[in-house]
Amino acid sequence: MMQLQREQLLPALADPALSAINFLNEVIDRYPRAISFAPGAPSEDLLDGIELPALIERYCSYLREDKGLSEAQVRRHLYQYGPARGHINGLIARAMLVDECISVDPRAIVVTVGAQEAMLLALRVLCPAPEDCVAVVNPSFVGIVGAAKVLGVATIAIADTSDGVNLAALEAACRQARDRGQRIRALYVAPDHANPSGSLMQRVQREQLLALAERHDFIVIEDNAYGFTAEWETRLPTLKALDQAGRVLYIGTCAKICVPGVRIGFAIADQEVIDAQGRKGLLADELTLVKSMVTVNTSPICQAIVGGMLLQHGGSLAAIARPKAELYRRQLGHLLVALERHLPRPVQAELGISWNRPSGGFFVRMQLPVIADERLLELSAREYGVLWTPMRSFYLDGQGSCELRLSCSYLRPAVIDEGVERLARFLRAVLAGPVQPLEPRTSASVEAA
């Protein structure tokens, strides 16, 4: 059999960022009885009662009654390859107007195979030259870092704060990049309860970031995967809603809000593009061209499911999301209370641990006085029956080796309680001397909780 040398393949394949998700899945498979705070998966309880055939039929009725398509046209619309730009662009545009006060032409929307494809398309189109680079808030979602590495796009780490991206550091990075002969073409940021930091960018920082983007001529790639978890009455406007100069490329996802299995995301890319002949188009047109060579099109059946859900909820993603957001806030609050109960302030000081207390999103970020790597995770899973995510893979610059991430989005309260108890026993054992390992319950009893 032919053998290939790894060093002759894509260099990024050896990067830990690309293997982080696979490693976690392997650990979960090896320790099925362990309680896992690792994946940021939507709650399966919220998937009960979703009837996919009914949603598809609701969308087909819309095509027949509102769009005037014949039965043959509806069948072709659903069963055949579709346009690379997408089918449900008009419904998404209406939802953006209703939910976010964002007025956008449906042609400026590209329906993608999850938000991950939208990130990859944006980086590929915006950073074509070796000197082009993307600034990334640090720590950041591994998907954007991995996409940049796969594409060979240079990344520049910009420190995160509790209020979001460090704007002074970003401005300095823009100047330093120019001095090196590079150019920051885009900044990736999740201003609302970011994964993994949980940070929330305040309105004044949002406005300052948009002014900075205008000053230094770069695009802001806004990832709004977790904005829906904020209290509806107190939520902040998205960067896209505040954008007056066309600086924001907005990425949304239906995975957390609708059904994760449909893998529907979208990009709003309404920036004007002028070619060498003076012809005008949209940045979405360019993303669509690249998409046609990557995934050809996004599944029309999956789009029909999301379209049916939108139609069922008055054309609003927020109406779909609101009850789910309430559940996620309760679960996050439950996790924070459980941590304080099992690891009270005197114990935190004794062990040298701390964690943030986000108001939304799926994640809590914990700092330890020891390295939280794969070996420590293996010990935690094997001896104490609890899983978490090492944070180092979320950093671009080698930081985060003493941090871990906890997610509770798909765990019921009783399981969260037991998981935190196991975690507390594990941390005491590792940080304060030998403690008798907790015997994990059977998988059946955990599921029953």
Confidence at residue 433, expressed as pLDDT on a 0 to 100 scale: 62
What is the percentage of the chain residues whose pLDDT exceeds 70?
96
For residue 442, pLDDT over 60 is answered with: no
For residue 305, pLDDT over 90 is answered with: yes
- Answer with the residue of higher pLDDT: 440 or 76: 76
For residues 234-263, give the mean pLDDT. 95
Average pLDDT, the chain: 92
For residue 63, pLDDT over 70 is answered with: yes
For residue 90, pLDDT over 90 is answered with: yes
> Which one, of 127, 22, 43, 39, lies nearest residue 330 by Cα?
43
Q: What is d(CA 211, CA 205) in angstroms, rounded to the nearest whole number?
A: 10
- Answer with the residue of higher pLDDT: 26 or 402: 402
Structure confidence by residue, pLDDT tens digits, 401-440: 999 999 999 899 999 999 999 999 999 999 986 544 445 4
Residue 36 has φ and ψ, to the nearest 5°, of -110, 120
> Which one, of 418, 246, 417, 228, lies nearest residue 326 by Cα?
228
Confidence at residue 434, expressed as pLDDT on a 0 to 100 scale: 52
Residue 305, burial from CB neighbour count under 10 angstroms (0-12, 13-18, 19+): buried
For residues 23-27, give the mean pLDDT. 73
Least confident of 90-104, 172-186, 226-240: 226-240
Q: What is the CATH number of domain 52-319?
A: 3.40.640.10
Contacts 24+ apart (CB under 8 A), 340-345: 341/420, 342/420, 342/421, 342/423, 342/424, 343/420, 343/424, 343/427
Q: What is the pTM of this model?
A: 0.93
Confidence at residue 447, expressed as pLDDT on a 0 to 100 scale: 37
Structure confidence by residue, pLDDT tens digits, 194-209: 999 999 999 999 999 9
Q: What is d(CA 411, CA 405) in angstroms, rounded to the nearest whole number?
A: 15
Confidence at residue 10, expressed as pLDDT on a 0 to 100 scale: 87
The CATH H-level (homologous superfamily) assignment of domain 6-47+322-433 is: Aspartate Aminotransferase, domain 1 (3.90.1150.10)
For residue 101, pLDDT over 90 is answered with: yes
Confidence at residue 161, expressed as pLDDT on a 0 to 100 scale: 85
Question: Which pair of tokens denotes residue 311?
Answer: 């139609």
Kindly list the distances between the CA atom of residue 151 and the CA atoms of 22, 85, 121, 123, in Å, as whole numbers in the listed order. Answer: 20, 22, 10, 8
Confidence at residue 51, expressed as pLDDT on a 0 to 100 scale: 95
Confidence at residue 278, expressed as pLDDT on a 0 to 100 scale: 94
What lies within 8 Å, CB to CB, of 391 at 6+ separation is 139, 196, 365, 372, 400, 401, 403, 404, 405
Structure confidence by residue, pLDDT tens digits, 353-402: 999 999 999 999 999 999 999 999 999 999 999 999 999 989 998 899 99
Confidence at residue 440, expressed as pLDDT on a 0 to 100 scale: 46
Q: What is d(CA 24, CA 3) in angstroms, rounded to the nearest whole number?
A: 28
Q: Are 79 and 297 in contact (CB under 8 A)?
A: no
Q: What is d(CA 123, CA 134) in angstroms, rounded to the nearest whole number?
A: 8
Kindly list the distances between the CA atom of residue 82 and the CA atoms of 52, 85, 283, 306, 344, in Å, as whole numbers in the listed order. Answer: 20, 8, 20, 15, 55
Structure confidence by residue, pLDDT tens digits, 312-367: 999 999 999 999 999 999 999 999 999 999 999 999 999 999 999 999 999 999 99
What band does 443 get if pLDDT is binned at 50, 70 and 90? Answer: very low
Confidence at residue 227, expressed as pLDDT on a 0 to 100 scale: 95
Question: Which pair of tokens denotes residue 170?
Answer: 């970003």
> Locate tokens 């780490």: which residue?
157
Domain ranges of the chain: 6-47+322-433, 52-319
Structure confidence by residue, pLDDT tens digits, 173-232: 999 999 999 999 999 999 999 999 999 999 999 999 999 999 999 999 999 999 999 988
Confidence at residue 15, expressed as pLDDT on a 0 to 100 scale: 79
Confidence at residue 162, expressed as pLDDT on a 0 to 100 scale: 77
For residues 228-250, give the mean pLDDT. 94
For residue 22, pLDDT over 80 is answered with: no
Radius of gyration of the chain from its Cα atoms, rounded to whole angstroms? 23
Q: Are 217 and 187 in contact (CB under 8 A)?
A: no
